[in-house]
Amino acid sequence: MKAVPMVEFWRGGLLESLHHGHAVVCDATGAIVEAWGDADAVIFPRSSCKMLQALPLVESGAADALGVGPSRLALSCASHQAAAVHTDLVTRWLGDLGLGDDDLRCGPQMPRDAEAMKEVLCKGESPCRIHNNCSGKHSGFLTLTRHLRAGPDYHLVDHPVQVAVRQAFEEVTGVASPGYGIDGCSAPNFATTVHGLARAMAFYAAAGDRSDTRSRAAARLVAAMTAFPELVAGEGRACTNLMRAMGGKVAVKTGAEAVFVAILPEQRMGIALKILDGAERASEAAIVALLIRLDALDPGHPVVKRYLTGPLTNYAGLAVGERRIAPGFAD
Amino acid sequence: MKAVPMVEFWRGGLLESLHHGHAVVCDATGAIVEAWGDADAVIFPRSSCKMLQALPLVESGAADALGVGPSRLALSCASHQAAAVHTDLVTRWLGDLGLGDDDLRCGPQMPRDAEAMKEVLCKGESPCRIHNNCSGKHSGFLTLTRHLRAGPDYHLVDHPVQVAVRQAFEEVTGVASPGYGIDGCSAPNFATTVHGLARAMAFYAAAGDRSDTRSRAAARLVAAMTAFPELVAGEGRACTNLMRAMGGKVAVKTGAEAVFVAILPEQRMGIALKILDGAERASEAAIVALLIRLDALDPGHPVVKRYLTGPLTNYAGLAVGERRIAPGFAD
């Protein structure tokens, strides 16, 4: 089945642009509660699966053995914007391992945080690997590498860290990964289906009901994400704003190319969506619509205006357009 | 008819994202030579129609009466990135009219040019209206306003300037505009069909064959755009790079929400395309494919690698993916 219309952009009373996508809401048994588009569409989760990539870090005992507490666990699931709060924590984490910027295998990235970017730019400096939005995830990989006494190239697909990530990823998604791509941070990103990604999110949502090692690890990662929403992304970012708006009851995570997932412990449900064209503006609007539909987000909360119902303004501040959920999707 | 697949983004041997769109190649009679998707789809041309919005400036005699030469005509058709070369020219143009930043009706916009942005940011200043990518177009509007002895709010849809723009726009597109929206720069942007926009570009392409006032005005605007490609956009930008790559034989212009047009005088043809989801990365790849198809662009030129055939690299500089033209589109 094809992707279906999900998010419309209107201007002057006319439809200007349209985004199609796939979305699945899954329960704790792995069954589909609702789906739009093709639940079996193969996607790259990109950064939306960082809590899966962090699972071996916790379930192996590496996190406990090397003093990785909740804030560092949140950073290991983060696509941070390299504000001082993020880079300071990563620097300390690497320092505790006796490591530094050169030990990271992600490339350097200009900070997305306005103040941090201004500092790098105006000092005429170049961004470091620590500024990479994935540097927390990579610090987690380095922590597991140390625990496993493995080699320094933890980003290679046959390295023990990535072998463990792939196994955990395939087990919680319930899908043998059809392949992998190299992500923006140079780590392997394993492909799965939209259903598989939603199933994994539902596994995390219901993890608190179970006492096995993996479930306890998953529950700790969810608790870390919801306890430190500002570390998972940063001030002004959708993941941070949405987790705050839901009072820490729901964990959400975005991924490049317009993937968005949500973990809803109260409902014991997981959501995964992919906008076919990769537009973040549409994945943000779509996840907001689904969170409202599942009674996880108050439709009257200001973040709903910001990502879905509020006017689109131009450089002069005039309201020039609006977003609408396409008929038939989450309406 | 629906939009058709046009540009694919691949990673790890799997299709990651897909862009649909509409495209029309039109000849000087207004007939469709080739089309993909829905030629009658209604779109907002956005900045891709600046050479249409500049037509009254020239055909009214305002440009000649007020000393607007080729470089300023190029700027009137530009979505510039506010490099010094752009803002200096706009400042001088406004100065010659005895006007300044406050007389522009576009809002302030942070320069897209890296050096100019760095200067604004690092001096702790705020961007001005002159930095708006449309400030050249607005300087043209102000020039026509002066010539018509009209009021200062030239951006309002019932102002003589916009009335003249709408008439010219509807006549060269051959379509009664079904409506308008307010653009990023606060000027009205008149809707038309993809066919109508392509027909207008073909009118410009064959303008040199005719001697009427409008055709001579259109030919002057095409000559100005191709003579000053760096003014139409800026260093590193697709419009500038593509016009340079084609040796000034073809004028191209991008518009927000992934519209792209081309004026091909040698072929007496015009192209208009709209990517349904508004992604610039896809409109750039699609226009490159169509320019190659019409023998206007050398497939071996480096810009083809940059916008279509070259690898997609990550923060570490690794090749992680590729763009492909979707089967059935311009292949």
Contact B44 A191 (CB under 8 A): no
Opening angle at CA B3, ends A330 and B9, nearest 5: 85
How many degrees, rounded to 5, is the angle at CA A101 between CA A181 and CA A236? 70
pLDDT of B183 reads: 98
CB B92 within 8 A of CB B65: no
Residue B331's pLDDT band, with cuts at 50, 70 and 90, is confident
CA distances from A142 to A92, A146, A154, A188 (A): 13, 6, 7, 15
Tell which B residues from 125 to 144 touch A, by Cβ distance under 8 Å: 132
Instruction: Indicate the SS3 state at residue A165.
Output: helix
Prediction pTM value: 0.98
DSSP element (H, E) containing B134: none
- Using CA atoms, how far apart are residues A129 and A127, in angstroms rounded to an integer? 7
Complex ipTM value: 0.97
Q: Strand, coil or helix: what is B130? A: helix
DSSP H helices in chain B: 50-53, 55-59, 62-65, 70-76, 84-96, 114-122, 135-148, 160-173, 194-205, 213-227, 229-232, 238-245, 280-293, 302-304
Give CA B46 to chain center in angstroms. Answer: 8
Kindly compute the dihedral angle of the four CA atoms of residues B232, B237, B239, B241, in this order, to the nearest 10 degrees.
110
The pLDDT assigned to B303 comes to 98
Reply yes or no on domain A4-314 having CATH 1.10.3470.
Answer: no
B7 reaches A (C-beta below 8 A): no
pLDDT for position A331: 77
Tokens 């392949």 locate to A179
| Of A12, A186, A278, Cβ closest to residue B181 | A12
3-state secondary structure at position A308? helix
Q: How far apart are CA A189 and CA B58, in angstroms?
A: 55
Angle at B64 between CA B60 and CA B65, to 5 degrees: 85
Backbone angles phi, psi at B90, to 5 degrees: -65, -40
Contact call for residues B282 and B106 (beta carbons, < 8 A): no
pLDDT of residue B60: 98
Mention every residue, 6+ apart, whose C-beta is less than 8 A from residue B68.
B57, B62, B76, B93, B140, B143
Q: Which residues pair with B17 in a beta bridge?
A: B9
Average pLDDT over residues A50-60: 98
Closest Cβ opposite residue B257 in set A16, A178, A258: A16
Q: Which of B15, B17, B138 to mutate to test the interface with A (most CBs of A within 10 A)?
A: B17
* B98 touches A: beta carbon within 8 Å: no
Q: Tokens 């040698």 identify what position?
A: B266
Contact status of B112 with chain A (Cβ, < 8 Å)? no
Position A76 scores a pLDDT of 98
Q: Are B106 and A316 in contact (CB < 8 Å)?
A: yes
**pLDDT above 90 for B228:** yes
What residues pair up with B24 in beta bridges, in sequence order?
Answer: B35, B272
**In the structure encoding, which two tokens stand for residue B263, read together?**
């004026």
Contact at CB, A182 and B320, closer than 8 angstroms? yes
Q: Are strands B42-43 and A319-325 parallel, antiparallel or unpaired?
A: unpaired
Is B282 within 8 Å of chain A by CB?
A: yes
Averaged pLDDT for residues A264-289: 98
**CB-neighbour burial class of residue B323 (10 A; exposed 0-12, middle 13-18, buried 19+):** buried
Residue B5's DSSP bridge partners are B20
Q: Do B179 and A12 touch (CB under 8 A)?
A: yes
H/E/C letters for each residue in A112-142?
CCHHHHHHHHHCCCCCCHHHCCCHHHHHHHH
Average pLDDT over chain A, rounded to an integer? 98
pLDDT at A105 over 90: yes
In percent, the amount of chain B with pLDDT more than 90 equals 99
Query: Can you tell me the distance from the alpha carbon of A86 to that of A75, in angstroms, rounded to the nearest whole number?
Result: 8
* CA–CA dist B73, A172 (Å, integer): 60
What does the pLDDT look like over B252-296, one tens digit per residue? 999 999 999 999 999 999 999 999 999 999 999 999 999 999 999
Distance between CA atoms of residues A111 and A131, nearest Å: 6
Cα-trace Rg, chain B: 19
d(CA B22, CA B6): 8
Which residue carries 């697909």 as its tokens?
A: A157
* Beta-carbon separation of A191 and B132 below 8 A: no
The residue type at B139: S
Q: In sequence order, which residues have a C-beta less than 8 Å from that of residue B208 and are 6 or more positions away? A: B215, B219, B265
Looking at the complex, report in whole angstroms how far the Cα of residue B159 sits from the nearest Cα belonging to chain A.
18
B18 CB neighbours in chain A (<8 A) are 276-277
- Provide the residue ranges of all domains of chain A, joining segments of one domain with +: 4-314
| Nearest-CB residue to A278 (from B9, B118, B317) | B9
Give me the phi and psi of B174, to 5 degrees please.
75, 20
Query: Cα(A304)–Cα(A194) distance, rounded to whole angstroms?
Result: 24
Do B182 and A320 touch, CB atoms closer than 8 A? yes
Q: How far is A175 from chain B (nearest CA, A)?
A: 16
Segment A128-151, tens digit of pLDDT: 999 999 999 999 999 999 999 999
pLDDT for residue B80 is more than 80 = yes
For residues B21-36, average pLDDT: 98
- CA dist B35 and B297 (Å) reads 19
Is residue A320 less than 8 Å (CB to CB) from chain B?
yes
pLDDT band at B110 (very low <50, low <70, confident <90, very high): very high
Residue A167: what pLDDT?
A: 98
